[in-house]
Amino acid sequence: MLVYDGDCGFCRRCVEFGEKHLPEMPETRAWQELDLDAHRLTLEQVNASVQLLGPGGLRASGARAVAVILALQPRMGWRVLGHAMLVPPVSWVAEVGYRFVARIRHRLPGGTGACRV
């Protein structure tokens, strides 16, 4: 399950893109709809970045969560990008990029004041 900020228009657009274009997109849920304690998540975690909860206790957040989803896709291009994002130094750049986008998401297409971190 991919847990995202349902109050953020930019985040919703990103999830909608994934649902439309990625055949192996996990179930998506806005954190506002979840019992965070039941999923062992904190408000700090879900406010900071997307959270990926998978089988066998798999947990990833931010750019790593995106990378794992991409690495599991059947199409070679997405899969290669996802695997590249999991390996330094690309993973470092991906995480810096994720943090930058998270900070300015209220200014991006679909973003609103509710998107401010």
Burial class (CB within 10 angstroms; exposed 0-12, middle 13-18, buried 19+) of 5: buried
pTM: 0.91
Instruction: Give the start-to-end residue ranges of the domains of the chain.
Output: 2-110
Confidence bin at 113 (pLDDT 50/70/90): low
Whether the per-residue pLDDT at 27 is higher than 90: the answer is: yes
In the numeric block, which tokens belong to residue 115?
A: 């998107």
Confidence bin at 116 (pLDDT 50/70/90): low
Whether the per-residue pLDDT at 112 is higher than 80: the answer is: no
Which residues are CB-neighbours of 13 under 8 A, at least 6 positions away?
A: 109, 110
Q: Mean pLDDT of all residues in the chain?
A: 93
